[in-house]
Structure formats: structure tokens, C-alpha cells
Amino acid sequence: MRRRDLMLLCVAAIGWRSPASALQEPIPRIALLSPRSDAEESVNAFRRGLRELGYVEGNSILLEIRSSRGDNERLPGLATELVSLKSAVVVTNGGPASCVTQDAAGSIPIVMSAVDDPVGLGFAQSLVHPGGNLTGLSNLPEGLVGKRMEMLLEAVPDPGCVTGLHGHGEQAGDPLYWREISTAAQTLRTDELPTAVSQISREHCRAVMVMSSALYVSARVQLVALPARHWVAAIYDNRLIVDAGGLMSYGPDTNDMLRRATTYVDKILNGAKPGDIPIEQPTQFEMAINLRTAKTLGLALPPSLLLLADEVTE
Amino acid sequence: VSRYLDINLIGARRSADISGTPAAVATSQPPSGSWPARRGLFRKYLLLFIGLVSAALLINAGIEIAFAYRENQAMLARLQSEKADAAAQRIAQFIGEIERQMGWTTQGQWAAGSVDQRRFDYVRLLRQVPAITELRQLDAGGKEQLKVSRLAMDVVASGTDFSRDPLFSDALAHKISFSPVYFRNESEPYLTIAIAGSGRNPGVTVADVNLKLIWDVIRGLQIGRNGYAYVVDRQGRLIAHPDISLVLRNTSFAMLPQVAAGLREMGGGTSVPLPSGSNTNSTDMKNSGMRMLSAHATLPALGWLVFVVVPRAEALEPLYESAMRTAVVLLAGLVLATLVALFMVRRMVGPIRLLQAGTARIGAGDLDSRIDVRTGDELESLADQFNTMAGQLRQSYSGLERKVAERTEELHESLEYQTAISDVLRVMSQSITDIAPALQTVVEMAVRLCHASQASIFELENGVYRWKVGHGLNAAYRDIEAGTDITVGSDTLVGRVAVTGHAVHIADALSDPCYRPTNEARIGIVRSMLGIPLLREGVPVGVITIARAVVEPFTEREVEMLTVFADQAVIAIENVRLFREIEDKSVAAEEASRTIEAAYRELKAAQANLIQAEKMASLGQLTAGIAHEIKNPLNFVNNFAILSVELLNELKEAAAPALALLNNDQRAEIGEVTGMLTSNLEKITEHGQRADGIVRSMLEHSRGSSGERREVDLNTLIDEALNLAYHGARAQDQSFNITLERDYDADIAPIEVNPQDMTRVFLNIFSNGFYAATRRARNGEDAGFVPTLKVTTRDSCEAAEVRVWDNGTGIPAEIRDKLFQPFFTTKPTGEGTGLGLSITYDIVTKVHGGSIAVDSNVGEYSEFTIRLPRKP
């Protein structure tokens, strides 16, 4: 072989590689729809999850984040906007956001999180095999209402009565929730928070269960203020409310759920069909207690309750 | 070497031709065949060197890689097993930790504690072990005493009976029991652990463990870069996997070969303490198109298998790296080997090339060049030998050169000689009839080639030799030579040659004692002389001589040459002689052939005539026979017809009185009948006589000539016949008219013929002509047509010729042959007998020995030509 031929071969071998690297795929766009106003912490958890999987925002992935700031009326518009951005995947937080996104998205894959009953709500055919374009992380099907009730009663051994609070328009969406609470305690319904709480107070209920609601998380400052003003003990499902001054909370770690949702995003970006990825249920629950609030309310919490708490705010 | 010598010779010859200096040869190119040979050696050695080194390196590298591969494989298997063991260890730790945490709640005295205390402890346990979702305390009878859950409200002393639960009994029997893996809410993998308490009447603590928490353990295992671990239960169902979806989907890996193998192995039931050592070598598995290496370890207590898989490519990476290293070293070695080989081969081939170039130079004729090789080895001695050889070659070369020059000179001479001979031959061939140019060329060539001053040829004529041609003679000497008849005798060169019949050489004419005409020799300035006889069949016919103005005897070679010229001269003379003879003979032969040809033609004509005559004669005999046979009955008919007329007249006279007695009608009737009879008889007579005439003419035809012959003037005879025919035709047909043209040869001599017969001949021919011309006129020719008949007579000494030409209808070619046959006629029946021309033919040919010919063109003319010989 002559020298020139050898050189040609080398050039050919080098040239061979270059087209593959020159071929650039478009950077996938990920949309996140959250109903919460202070999405920061959960969004950070989501970003952390992406980083752990090796994605670099702006480089290997684009992120579009929209928040309804607690106003469920705004969700459909935001969902449509995110879909029109040609997102590869839409990640949703909570039942309402998932619902409106499903309406808007068509066939775009949706990764939901913290949805109470995906099968009952029609998001999936089954947990193992969702079948549609929705998958993600659900809350526990049976809910934690009983456990929370137990905790609430432990904190307030003599509440008079126990009532429940839920967000406007969420009743229809969470039938299970109501079934559970009806078996657990007397059921009271209200829409307007202040009137509800004052009514609770008037009815001498010293304990209230605030149901999982993005609305309440968004409005948590007012929320925690109301029970405290009326000397009512409340248990929430989200630790954030306890941080803001709520008495207790028990529930799955929603931020961690969003972090875990990134693994679904990763799988879908790698070509998996959302209908084939099983919906995951939470395994870890956290309990938070605000001792200061307890003190304000004049409650002495038993050690067994404190033992359960993952986080105790002094 | 021989090839080079050949080339050298040719080169030398060429150089001698062109410049005569051998130095010119040195510039010629070396033979083109030398380049491939040099290349071949260079390439051969280079390839051999590189090949050897490459082979050594390759074999070395190959062995190294092979060993490395095997070692790597073994190490890999070991490593994999260790990883699998480690993974199993971690899983065992995970479960063991749960067991340990649960352990203290199973003691007898603990079970007897207060509910609140027990609940508190359980809550603490839940707090410490996140994987446990639910805890139950069963008393010795299997009744549930306490249930604490993360998800549901706690239950105290529900009393639910678990005594039938196999887990419970198994735990009592074995202290600890694990349930099979099961799935809660479709997708959550769970394991239930039951631990029996110690002491009397022990209770059982049952814990529901969410196995998803093993995920953290599995994920925590770092197995290579892309490797991972997974766990399956004894059914092959997936318990833990980095991709949790697979676990949630309740996937079975029992179909995977390595899992199947692992399960079989575990089914064998070797109870190895937990965790068991790995005992499976790495096996390949295909996972999403990637080849994987896997190893496993068992957890017998749980009946689980822990698998560790690593992508094959990753596992083999060290091997590839070492192979790459080897390849780089190999490449470097090859490059180095190539460079060294190039250097060495160059060192070796360089002197050889010098040697080759030197030998090529010597081969090309540069014998002065020397090969300069200073290697101090065999090559140098070879070069020295070549130098020596070149020197020897140079010595022998000079002798060779001289010989070549001589030979070339000879060749040149012989070429010139050949040219001279061919010139002579050429001149000879150009002048066949004249001898002088050829002989002139011969003498010219003889002078030139024999380096003589003059040459002459003498020819023998009537016993004396006469000078014919010469070259280089001065005028005076030529006059003497031309005017002298040389006789045979030894006093002259020519005479002496004639006497001896051989070549005669006179070294010096002036000092030769017998040579007489010394004065003439002085005039002619001849000293050395040479004469060669021109011999034809051994007999001298002439002499060729050459002479020089100085005394310089002729060489043997010159004598030979002149002999050849003498032969040439003889050939030239002989050629001319023969040519003339042939020419004469061919003229005679031509004449003879002409005579023969004429005779042959006459013979042919006579033969044709004879045949025709014979045919006519036989026809004539036939005709005569028929005529003779017809004549007798015809005579009867004629005679009795005449007699009957007479008898009828007699009857009329005799019956006249009787007739008178009859009435008019009867009389008239009888008269009419007799009249008719008479007329019938007259018709019989008339036609009988006509038949008689025909028969007579037939007889005449056969009878031949009867009358005597006499000499007549043919013109007169013809003119009479013409008039007779014309008036005869006018007599028959008043409207007949024709133009007659006469062209008589007035000098025609009287000819002896039978006048009566000839008159008949002419009458026949004329009447035919009239008939044809008239018929053409009547057949609707235009008004301008004039029927013409033209008679021409001509006389030659042997015969008289008469031509009768008419512009009638003409005679078609197909009937011309039949024209002279008896009874052939073209006229309507009754107008001709068909005998006229037949008789004419007989008369002309048989009686007069002449001939008659017909020429005609249908629609234009007919011409009869009659030749009458004077002496039949």
C-alpha cells in the first residue's frame, strides 16, 4: 500500500465519526405545572432530581414552569400554554393540575404526582399498567385519613367534634376522601374558610382535619392563622403548613415525589411509553409537629406522638 | 552477459558505419530490462525483512493478547462473583437489620408489658425501620394483640386469629419465617417477616416490609460504571431492580437463562449459610442489544437470588486497553522494523545497484568505465572481477573491430558486385532485341569492379574475332580495335584466349615475349591484361578483356569476377539470339495457323453444304417416287377424260336425230345435262393437267439437270429472266407494278452454266420477290411505299455472285431453315407448289456446285445471294 492510500484511509476513518457528532437532536422541553404559589421548594426538588439524572438545564434539557398560585381557575389556561410550547413531557403536581393537563395535552406524555386515586379519576387503567399518556406518582389509595384522625385525637383527646375542610370544587374530585372521613368522624362541609372556621368554632369543634389541597398550601398563612385564632387544633397533610405555623401534618413527601417524577421524565425521554410505566405509590411519610403552636393552643402532646414526628418545630 | 556482447557488437558496427569511433557507443542507454531486476531485489529483501519482523511481533502480540484475554476472563469471573457476593451481603444486611430491630420485641417479658408501652415500642420500631409498614403482635395462640401501622389507625387486641397462618406456625417452628413476596395494591412488593419470641409461651411479631426500600440498597451498589444488581425470588420474580418500574410491574425474570440456571442451582438445596458464596461463572446475557456479563449469589433463607450484571464491553475494557496498547507497540515496532529494513536493504542494494549500473555501462560498450564499490566484501571482489573482465574485453575488442572493418569492406564489395550483376540483368531485360547496351554495361561494370582502365568485348563472326563494345578506350585505340579482325593465335590476347579456351592473364603486355601488337598496346596504354572466353556450351563465341594502364597483375578474385561478367555477356548474346529465333518462328507459326484456320472454315462450310445437299437429295428421291406412282393413274384420268369428251361429242352427233323428236323441254334438259358433263370433263382435264404439271415438275426436280452446259453471259441471262418474270406477273395481274433496279457488273466474264436451269432459278426467285413486295404493298403500307426489286451481279475470279433484293414482307427467321424444303410454301393453297425454291436450291447447289444464302429482316427486306463457282 502506498503512503498516500494509507493517509486517505486515516482521513476516511476520521471523517466517518464526525457526521454522527455533528447531528444534533433538539433539546427536549419539559413543562412543570404546579398549582402552588411558592413552588420554589418543590421546583428545586424537581431540578435536583434532573441534575441527579445527569441533565443540565438549558444544555441537555429546557424547563418551563407555570404556577397557578393557588387559583385553580387559571390551571386550564396554563396547561394549554405549556402544551402549545411543544413540550416533550408535562409534569403536573396534584389532581386538578393533572386533570386540566390531560384535557389539553392530547397525546403528550404527562407525569403526574401526588394524585390521590389515578385509577378512580380515570387517569390510568391500572397502577401497574396505566395504558394512557399519564403516569407518575400517586398518593396512597386508601389515604391516610384514619391515621391523621388518630394523630389528631391523640393530640386533642377531647375535641368535642372533628370536622374537615377541603378546597372549593375538590369535593367531586376526591370521593374516596369523603368516604374515608365519613367512616372516621363527623363530616362537616364548608367552602368559605373564615366562615367555616368560625362555624367550626361555634359548633365547639376543637379539632379540624384539613384535607390535601394545593389551595391550602398556597394560602397557608391565612389558614394557620384561622384555627389558631379560634383555638382549634388542625392536622394537615403537608409539612409546609406546619412550617408556616400549622399544628401537625402527616403525609407523603410531595417534594420528594416531584424529585422522583424526574425518573419518569427520564424514561419517557428515553423512549418509554407512559402507558407502560407503572404508577408508583409513596413509601415514605413524614410527620411534622409545631410545638410552638401546640403551646399556643395549650396542648400537651403525648410522647408517642412526638416519637412519630420526623420534624418537631420548637 | 552474452546479450550485452551482442548489443555491443551491433553498436560497434553501427558506430563504425557512422563515425568510426567506438567512443560513441558509450552514450547508448542501458538495456531497459535492468530496472525491474533492481526493484525486485530491493522489494524482495525489504518485504522479507519487514515480513520476518512483523511476523515475530504479531505472534508475540497475539500470544500476549490471548493470555491477557484468558487471565482477564478469569479475573472478570472472580470479580463478578465478588460483586455478587457483596451485593448479596448488602441485601442480607438489609433483612438482617430488620430482624435485629424486631428481635427485642419478641421477648416474652416484652409481650407482657402494657399496651401503651408496646405501642410506643412499635412506633419507635417503625421510626427506626422505614421499610416496615405494619407491625402485629400475635400471642402464642395466634391471636392479634396489637397492630401498628403507618397508614391506618392502630388496633389494640382485635383478637383476629392468625393461628392457621402458615407463617405463624413456621415462625414457631423455625424461630423466623419469611413469607413469599407479594404485591399490595397491585404494585407494591411486600415481604412479611414473622419472628417467634423466646422463652415460654412465646408470641410472634409479624412485620410487613415494603421491599421497595431495598431499591435504595440496590441503587447504592456501585457495580462498574454501567453495571447493576437485581434480586429475584424463588419463582424468578423480580424483587429489586434499579428500574423500579420493572419491580412494580411484577416482572418475572425466570425466562432469562442465567436466572433459570441460578434457580436450578438453588433448587438443588445446598444449604449454605447466609449469604452463600457465588458459584456461577459469568454468563453472557443480552439486554437491550448489549452483551452483559452476569454473576449471582443466593440468599437461601429467603430463597432469593442476587444478580450482578455488567456490560460485557465495560467488563472487557481493560482487555481492550491492553490490546490497544499491544497494537500501538506493534505498530511502533513495525514502523521501526520498516525503517531499519529500509536502511539495511538500502545499504545492501546500493552496492549492487552500483555494480549493476557499472556492468550496464560496460555492457553498453563503455569499456573504459570502472565499477567503484568499496564495501570490502564479496561485492567489492565481484566489482573488481568485472573491472578485470572489462579490461580483457577491451583488448579483444580492438582485434574484433579490425576484423569487422575487413568484413564490412568485403561485404561492401560483394554488395557492389551484386548491384553490378543486377544492373547488367536489368539492362538485359530492358533491351531484349539489342545486345549492345547489355554488353556496354558489362564492360563498364568490369572496369569499375576490377579496377581496370579499360574493357572490351570481342565477338566471333565468320572465324574471326571482331571488337563489339568497349569502355575506357581512347579513340585511337578504339579505331584500331574496331578495324582489326583478330584471328586465333597466341600473338594477341584475344587470339590466345581463343586458342586456350581459358582465362589468359598477361602481366605486362610490353614484356610478354609472344604478344605482338605492342605498338597498339602503347597507343592504348595497356600493360596488365586479362582475357576471358565467352563460352556457349563449351564453344567460344567471343572474348572479354580488361586491361590496366600500369603493370598490376589481376587477382584471383578479379579473374573470378570477370568470368562471371563473361558469363553474363554470353547470356546476353544468347538471349538476343534466342529471342530473334523465337520471333522468326512465331511469325511462321502465326501464318500457318491463319492458313489452318481458313482451311478449317472452308471445310466447315463444305460440310454444311454436304449435309443440306444430302437432305435435299433424299427428299428429291422421295418426291420422284411419289410423282412416278401418281403419274400413271393421272394419265388414265386425263386420257379417259379427253376420250369421254370426244365420246360425248359423238354421242351428241349420234343422238341429234333422236333429240329432234323430243319436245323442247326434254331436249333442253338433255342439252343441259350434256353441257354439264362436257364442262365437268373439261374441269377434270384442266385439273388433271395441272396435277400432271405438278408431277412433271416433281419429276424434273428429281431428274436433275438434263440440258447441256455452255458459257453464257450471266447479265443477259438474268435480264431475260427478269423481263420474263415481270411480264408473266403483269399477265396474271394487270395492276401489278414494281420498280426494278439493275446493278450489273459489266466486266463479268462468261460463265459455264445450264442456261435453262438457271433461267428457272432466277424466274423462281424473281417471282417470289414480286409476290412478297406486292403483298407488302397490299397489306396496307402507306402511299409512299414503292415495291422494289434490285438485282446485283458481281464477279470474282473464282465465282460469280448474284444478289436479289426486294423490299417485301421479309422472311421470319424461324422458317428460313425450311425455306428450301420441298412442298414448303407460305402462299395460299393453289398459288404455289412449294417446289420452286427447292428446285432452285437443287439447281444451284447440285447442278452448279454453287451456294444460295438468304438474308432478311421481317417487314423490311429479303435478299437471296447466289454464288456460282466457275469451276464446279
pLDDT digits (tens, 9 = 90+) for B126-147: 888 888 888 888 888 888 888 8
Give the span between the Cα atoms of B527 and B82, in whole angstroms. Answer: 133
Cell 432469562 belongs to B256
- Provide the β-strand partners of residue B177: B194
Residue B595's alpha-carbon distances to B592, B602, B609, B790, B823, in angstroms, are 5, 11, 21, 36, 41
Does B188 touch chain A if contact means CB atoms closer than 8 Å? yes
- Are B236 and B253 in contact, with CB atoms under 8 Å apart? yes
B374 CA: distance to closest CA in chain A (Å) = 33
A71 CA: distance to closest CA in chain B (Å) = 30
Give the span between the Cα atoms of A239 and A249, in whole angstroms. Answer: 5
Neighboring chain A residues of B186 at a CB cutoff of 8 Å:
126-128
- Are A274 and A130 in contact, with CB atoms under 8 Å apart? yes
Give the span between the Cα atoms of A32 and A42, in whole angstroms. Answer: 10
B134 Ramachandran zone, left/alpha/beta (phi>0; psi -120 to 50): beta
What confidence score (pLDDT) does residue A167 get? 58
Q: Which of B127, B133, B212 sits opposite A308 (nearest CB)?
A: B127
Other Cβ atoms within 10 Å of A140 Cβ, number: 20
Give the span between the Cα atoms of A135 and A111, in whole angstroms. Answer: 5
Tell me which of B195 and B313 has the higher pLDDT: B195
For chain B, state the CA radius of gyration.
77
Cell 548489443 belongs to B7
Give the span between the Cα atoms of B710 and B755, in whole angstroms. Answer: 7
Tell me which of B681 and B110 has the higher pLDDT: B681
% of chain B surpassing 70 pLDDT:
90
A54 Ramachandran zone, left/alpha/beta (phi>0; psi -120 to 50): left
Q: What angle do CA B253, B254, B257 make, to 5 degrees?
A: 95
Task: List all residues of chain B from 227 to 256 with a beta carbon under 8 Å from chain A.
Answer: 243-245, 248-250
Neighboring chain A residues of B212 at a CB cutoff of 8 Å:
283
Amino acid present at B131: A
- Provide the β-strand partners of residue A233: A207
A145 CA: distance to closest CA in chain B (Å) = 8
Does A129 touch chain B if contact means CB atoms closer than 8 Å? yes
pLDDT band at residue B21 under the 50/70/90 scheme: very low
Say how far residue B705 (Cα) sits from the centre of its chain: 82
The residue of A1, A116, A127 whose CB has the most chain B CBs within 10 angstroms, and thus the best one to mutate to test that interface, is A127
What confidence score (pLDDT) does residue B34 get? 45
Inter-chain CB proximity B154 and A146 less than 8 Å:
no
Neighboring chain B residues of A120 at a CB cutoff of 8 Å:
none
What confidence score (pLDDT) does residue A143 get? 64
- Are A261 and A214 in contact, with CB atoms under 8 Å apart? no
What confidence score (pLDDT) does residue B19 get? 41
The set of long-range contacts for B602-609, using a CB threshold of 8 Å and a minimum separation of 24, is B605/B851, B609/B845, B609/B851
For residue range B585-623, what is the model confidence (pLDDT) as tens digits? 999 999 999 999 999 999 998 888 788 777 767 776 777
What confidence score (pLDDT) does residue A93 get? 81
Chain B residue whose CA is closest to A309 = B127
What confidence score (pLDDT) does residue B183 get? 83
Inter-chain CB proximity B123 and A150 less than 8 Å:
no
Inter-chain CB proximity A307 and B120 less than 8 Å:
yes
Does A281 touch chain B if contact means CB atoms closer than 8 Å? yes
Cell 481458313 belongs to B598
Give the span between the Cα atoms of B55 and B59, in whole angstroms. Answer: 6
Would you report the helix, strand and coil content of chain A in percent, each value rounded to 5?
45, 20, 40
pLDDT for residue B12 is more than 50:
no
Give the span between the Cα atoms of B174 and B193, in whole angstroms. Answer: 12
Q: What angle do CA A237, A243, A245 make, to 5 degrees?
A: 90
- State which of A38-42, B487-491, B809-813 shows the largest mean pLDDT: B809-813
Q: How many residues does chain A have?
A: 314
B123 CA: distance to closest CA in chain A (Å) = 7
Does A307 touch chain B if contact means CB atoms closer than 8 Å? yes
Chain B residue whose CA is closest to A310 = B127
Inter-chain CB proximity A303 and B188 less than 8 Å:
no
The residue of A304, A305, A308 whose CB has the most chain B CBs within 10 angstroms, and thus the best one to mutate to test that interface, is A304
Does B212 touch chain A if contact means CB atoms closer than 8 Å? yes
Q: Which of A128, A140, A303 sits opposite B249 (nearest CB)?
A: A128
Q: Which of A147, A280, A304 sits opposite B244 (nearest CB)?
A: A280
The answer to whether ipTM exceeds 0.90 is no
Smallest CA-to-CA distance from A264 within A66, A141, A115, A140 is with A115
Give the span between the Cα atoms of B378 and B653, in whole angstroms. Answer: 171
Q: Give the residue-averaged pLDDT of B623-649.
A: 83
User: At B486, phi and psi to the nearest 5?
Assistant: -95, 130
Q: Which of B152, B187, B212 sits opposite A147 (nearest CB)?
A: B152
- Are A164 and A208 in contact, with CB atoms under 8 Å apart? yes
- Provide the β-strand partners of residue A138: A115
Smallest CA-to-CA distance from A210 within A230, A183, A238 is with A238
- Are B522 and B510 in contact, with CB atoms under 8 Å apart? yes
Does A308 touch chain B if contact means CB atoms closer than 8 Å? yes
Neighboring chain B residues of A283 at a CB cutoff of 8 Å:
130, 133, 188, 210, 212-213
Cell 396474271 belongs to B732
User: For chain A, how many helices (H) and strands (E)?
Assistant: 13, 11
The residue of B115, B123, B153, B244 whose CB has the most chain A CBs within 10 angstroms, and thus the best one to mutate to test that interface, is B153
Q: Give the residue-averaged pLDDT of B379-385.
A: 85
For residue range B555-566, what is the model confidence (pLDDT) as tens digits? 888 888 888 888
What confidence score (pLDDT) does residue A18 get? 43
Tell me which of B243 and B201 has the higher pLDDT: B243
Give the span between the Cα atoms of B195 and B203, in whole angstroms. Answer: 8
For residue range B42-101, what is the model confidence (pLDDT) as tens digits? 788 888 888 888 888 888 888 888 888 888 878 888 888 888 888 888 888 888 888 888
Q: Which of A141, A147, A267 sits opposite B185 (nearest CB)?
A: A141
Listed in sequence order, the DSSP H helices in B704-811 are: 714-732, 755-778
Does B123 touch chain A if contact means CB atoms closer than 8 Å? yes
For residue range B527-542, what is the model confidence (pLDDT) as tens digits? 888 999 988 888 888 8
Q: List, in order, residues 6 or more apart from B236 with CB less than 8 Å away.
A: B252, B253, B254, B255, B256, B259, B260, B263
Give the span between the Cα atoms of B562 and B247, in whole angstroms. Answer: 130
Other Cβ atoms within 10 Å of B254 Cβ, number: 16
Per the structure block, which three cell numbers stand in for B73?
476472563
Give the span between the Cα atoms of B65 and A184, in whole angstroms. Answer: 73
pLDDT for residue B792 is more than 90:
yes
* pLDDT tens across the length of chain A (314 residues): 444 454 444 444 444 444 444 445 678 888 888 876 656 777 888 888 888 888 888 888 888 888 877 667 788 888 888 888 888 888 888 777 788 888 887 788 888 887 877 887 788 888 888 888 888 888 775 667 778 878 888 888 777 777 776 655 444 334 444 554 544 333 333 345 666 666 666 667 777 777 665 556 666 666 777 777 777 788 887 787 888 788 888 888 878 888 888 888 888 888 888 888 888 888 778 889 988 888 888 888 888 788 888 888 87
> CB-hemisphere CA count at 13 Å for B513?
0
B718: helix, coil or strand?
Answer: helix
- Please state, rounded to an integer, the average pLDDT across all residues of chain B: 80
Chain A residue whose CA is closest to B155 = A150
B282 CA: distance to closest CA in chain A (Å) = 29
Does B210 touch chain A if contact means CB atoms closer than 8 Å? yes
Does B151 touch chain A if contact means CB atoms closer than 8 Å? yes
Neighboring chain A residues of B188 at a CB cutoff of 8 Å:
281, 283
Chain A residue whose CA is closest to B187 = A128
pLDDT for residue B482 is more than 90:
no
Cis peptide leading into residue B30 (ω within 30°)? no
Does B152 touch chain A if contact means CB atoms closer than 8 Å? yes
The residue of A111, A260, A280 whose CB has the most chain B CBs within 10 angstroms, and thus the best one to mutate to test that interface, is A280
Inter-chain CB proximity B185 and A281 less than 8 Å:
yes
Inter-chain CB proximity B130 and A308 less than 8 Å:
no
What confidence score (pLDDT) does residue A233 get? 81
Listed in sequence order, the DSSP H helices in chain A are: 3-22, 40-52, 75-84, 95-105, 145-155, 175-184, 193-202, 214-218, 220-229, 239-243, 254-269, 291-297, 303-308
pLDDT for residue B268 is more than 50:
no
